[in-house]
């Protein structure tokens, strides 16, 4: 298999048909690529803006075989796609990016934190938990408050619970279904930051400025970027990004969430081996946004510029907040990005807006 850049007219496959897949497909189309989506939901948001969609489970062997044969490179839009599916595609000769190793590491919080500390990207202290007895011992080690999370799956605050006292252990373990978990020490941070970074097939990297994030109920509400940070913090964040990218031999865009402890000290909260919600600001703040950057990377193209030309406040629209679309569309300083989802369920990400300001 050649590592030559894919020519326009080649086909890019995306596992996952949600909003990230949709925005990746639109970016790929601008660069002249065709896109095929594999997703179990018929008429998915990404499928509707792509050349075609295979409607099948992510681990369907027949669908994966067809998918691998019709696509020149395969990527994914979210990290809950089975790593075994990417392995199957790679073993069958398909070009995949990012690779299955990065996906597998990000799917298990213990493996993720072990990897991060191994490359010098420090995290909070943590203890793996399999049983209630393990949890009781872990609380004695880390103290309270501490955060209990399932080892696998869970996002936007799901699959996790704070433990404020040792007597809460049994109730907390029951709340996550008694599943394999991780107990994390509380981070005494000033604010939450994130950095979006990319690595090409040739090892070149491109890193965007930091964003400052605010969450509510475990869900990201806003990102402001470029964040106001000192030089020491910016340099440390970039060093972390390069260490993670190189440690995973990564190809594509990655999102890295950080706890800012002040004075240039950062802890990594978690990594997302994909384009990331906190990078949506790049769509209206940079010449080359995170979606085009990811397509460039997986296709073997040169990476694009990451310098900002505007300051952006990105705001997620959840549930029926999307009904504000007409009002928002009339504002000169606002760019509206709708995801094409049919049902506006409470808490569901339906769209985002980028409020653009001069630098």
Q: Please, how many CA atoms are within 13 Å of residue 133, restricted to the half-sphere of its CB?
A: 0
Pick the CATH number of 191-357 from 3.30.1050.10, 1.20.1050.10, 3.30.470.20, 3.40.50.720: 3.30.470.20
For the chain, list the strands marked E by DSSP: 11-15, 34-39, 52-55, 73-76, 126-129, 146-150, 160-163, 181-185, 191-199, 205-207, 211-216, 219-225, 252-262, 265-272, 311-318, 334-338, 349-357
Q: Please, how many CA atoms are within 13 Å of residue 90, restricted to the half-sphere of its CB?
A: 13
Q: How far apart are CA 155 and CA 218, in angstroms?
A: 8
Token look-up 């690529």 returns: 33
CA distances from 330 to 274, 334, 340 (A): 32, 8, 19
Handedness of CA 28, 276, 172, 141 (dihedral sign): positive
- In CATH terms, is domain 125-185 a member of 3.30.1490.20? yes
pLDDT by 10s per residue, the chain, length 359: 457 899 999 999 999 999 999 999 999 999 999 999 999 999 999 999 999 999 999 999 999 999 999 999 999 999 888 989 999 999 888 899 998 899 999 999 999 999 999 999 999 999 999 999 999 999 999 999 999 999 987 665 568 899 999 999 999 999 999 999 999 999 999 999 999 999 999 999 999 999 999 999 889 999 999 999 999 999 999 999 999 999 999 999 999 999 999 999 999 999 999 999 999 999 999 999 999 999 999 999 999 999 999 999 999 999 999 999 999 999 999 999 999 998 999 999 999 999 999 99
Structure tokens at 309: 């030309």
**Domain residue limits, the chain:** 11-96, 125-185, 191-357
**Order of strands, edge to edge, in the sheet holding 11-15?**
52-55, 34-39, 11-15, 73-76
Q: Which residues contact 46 (CB under 8 A, 6 or more apart)?
A: 14, 16, 17, 18, 19, 21, 22, 24, 25, 35, 37, 39, 53, 77
CA distances from 315 to 57, 227, 275, 285, 346 (A): 32, 15, 16, 14, 16
163 neighbors 172 (Cβ within 8 angstroms): yes
Domain 11-96 fold: Rossmann fold (3.40.50)
């Amino acid at each position: 298999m050649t590592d030559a850049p894919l020519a326009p007219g080649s086909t890019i496959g995306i596992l996952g048909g949600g909003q990230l897949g949709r925005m990746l497909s639109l970016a790929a189309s601008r660069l002249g690529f065709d896109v095929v989506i594999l997703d179990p939901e018929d008429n998915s948001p990404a499928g509707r803006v792509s050349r075609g969609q295979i409607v099948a489970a992510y681990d369907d062997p027949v669908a994966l075989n067809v998918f691998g044969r019709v696509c020149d490179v395969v990527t994914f839009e979210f990290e809950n796609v089975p790593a075994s599916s990417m392995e199957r595609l790679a073993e069958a000769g398909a070009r995949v990016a990012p690779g299955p190793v990065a996906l597998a590491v990000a799917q298990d919080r213990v493996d993720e934190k072990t990897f991060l500390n191994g490359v010098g990207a420090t995290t909070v202290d943590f203890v793996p938990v399999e049983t209630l007895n393990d949890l009781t011992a872990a609380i004695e080690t880390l103290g309270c408050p501490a955060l209990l999370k399932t080892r696998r799956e869970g996002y936007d605050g799901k699959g996790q619970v704070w433990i404020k006292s040792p007597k809460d252990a049994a109730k907390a373990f029951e709340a996550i279904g008694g599943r394999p978990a991780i107990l994390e020490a509380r981070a005494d941070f000033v604010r939450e930051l994130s950095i979006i970074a990319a690595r090409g097939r040739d090892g070149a990297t491109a890193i965007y400025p930091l964003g400052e994030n605010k969450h509510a109920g475990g869900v990201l509400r806003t990102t402001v970027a470029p964040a106001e940070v000192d030089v020491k913090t910016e340099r440390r964040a970039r060093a972390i990004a390069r260490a993670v990218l190189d440690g995973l031999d990564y190809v594509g865009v990655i999102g890295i969430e950080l706890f800012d402890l002040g004075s240039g000290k950062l802890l990594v909260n978690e990594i997302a081996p994909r384009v990331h919600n906190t990078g949506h600001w790049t769509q209206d703040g940079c010449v080359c946004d995170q979606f085009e950057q990811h397509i460039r990377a997986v296709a073997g193209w040169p990476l694009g510029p990451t310098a900002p030309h505007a300051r952006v406040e990105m705001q997620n629209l959840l549930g029926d907040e999307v009904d504000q679309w007409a009002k928002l569309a009339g504002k000169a300083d606002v760019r509206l990005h709708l995801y094409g989802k049919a049902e506006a369920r409470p808490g569901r990400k339906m769209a985002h807006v980028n409020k653009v300001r001069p630098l």
